Amino acid sequence: MKTAFITGVTSGFGKAIAIRLAGLGYQLVLTGRRKEKLDEVCDYINSNFSVKTFPLCFDVRDNDACKQSIASLPDDFKNIDLLINNAGLAAGASPFDESDLTDFDRMIDTNVKGLLYVTKLIVPGMIERKSGHIINISSIAGIEVYPNGSVYCASKHAVNAITKGLRIDLVKHGIKVSSVSPGMAETEFSIIRYHGDEEKAKAVYQGLVPLNAEDIADTVEFIVTRPDHVSINDIQINPAQQANTYIAHRV
């Protein structure tokens, strides 16, 4: 049985991916900061699928917490076959000069440094076993830069550079490295971005049908079910009504 480690399963993409991988027979290490929600996802999977789950409640921005949490994994969960770096956020949507530096820190610390901390701890085992797969949840914001999104876009551009670099450095160890780059998807993402303002968050998707978390779980399922000799580098997926970060056909 393969083991997957997914960051940020208390909501959105991470939760849908966890449930999908449980259906594919993966046993799961599931992480997030909100313990109640993390336990809920684990309980749901434990009662609906015949796979085991192991919850790790920690903040990916805290390298010591990452180290302690991952070191605490019991032997039967230690060998990670699939790492999904999903935990991430946008904080704020303002011109650079009007933005808050603490928002910049949150995005860089979570989306870039958190991803690095977790990956650094999991890669050595993959190298030792000469196999593994890392999937980084990036964004269309890693490909295009849009107004009021400079630092979020920078963080996802960094994720893409890290993805490409990891692929180069790990290919000799038999480790695949992929990314998924979604456009607009309705999760808790915009509520977090607008600091809890649900009206502003709703307006983001007005007049169009956004992606949902299941669409991203479908994409991850496609990536992990390719034959051994196939590596998917990146899948960029948008709502049908979104051409790029600037052009959305709203009706």
Binding partner selected for residue 61 from ligand 8X3, ligand NDP, none, CB under the kind-specific 5 to 8 Å limit: ligand NDP
Helix (H) or strand (E) holding 127: helix 115-129
141 binds ligand 8X3 (CB under 6 A): yes
**Which are the contacts of 55, defined by CB distance < 8 A and separation ≥ 6?**
30, 31, 35, 38, 39, 42
List the interface residues with ligand 8X3, window 120-139 (CB under 6 A): 139
Q: Tell whether the torsion through CA atoms of 102, 106, 112 and 113 is positive or negative.
A: positive
Residue with structure tokens 């956004």? Answer: 210
Report the Cα–Cα distance between both ends of the chain, in Å, rounded: 46
Shortest Cβ 172–ligand NDP spacing (Å): 28
In this chain, which of 3, 4, 6, 13 binds ligand NDP, going by CB under 6 A?
13
In this chain, which of 4, 5, 6, 12 binds ligand NDP, going by CB under 6 A?
12
In this chain, which of 28, 117, 245, 248 binds ligand 8X3, going by CB under 6 A?
245
In this chain, which of 140, 158, 159, 224 binds ligand 8X3, going by CB under 6 A?
140
**Which are the contacts of 104, defined by CB distance < 8 A and separation ≥ 6?**
91, 151
192 binds ligand NDP (CB under 6 A): yes
> Alpha carbon 98 to chain centroid distance?
28
Calculated CA dihedral for residues 181, 225, 31, 118, nearest 10 degrees: -70
Across 102-127, b (16+ Cβ under 10 Å) vs e yields ebbebbbbbbbbbbbbbbebbbeebe
**Would you please indicate which residues are annotated as catalytic (active-site) residues?**
152
Report whether 57 contacts 51 (CB < 8 A): no
Q: For 248, phi and psi rounded to 5 degrees?
A: -125, 135
List the interface residues with ligand NDP, window 43-82 (CB under 6 A): 59-61
Shortest Cβ 141–ligand 8X3 spacing (Å): 4
Binding partner selected for residue 245 from ligand NDP, ligand 8X3, none, CB under the kind-specific 5 to 8 Å limit: ligand 8X3
239 binds ligand NDP (CB under 6 A): no
**Which residue has its beta carbon closest to ligand 8X3?**
139
Shortest Cβ 188–ligand NDP spacing (Å): 3
183 binds ligand 8X3 (CB under 6 A): yes
163 binds ligand NDP (CB under 6 A): no
Residue with structure tokens 């992929």? Answer: 178
**Residue ranges in contact with ligand NDP by CB under 6 A:** 7-14, 32-34, 37, 59-61, 86-89, 110, 114, 137, 139, 182, 184-185, 187-189, 192
**Residue ranges in contact with ligand 8X3 by CB under 6 A:** 139-141, 183-184, 245
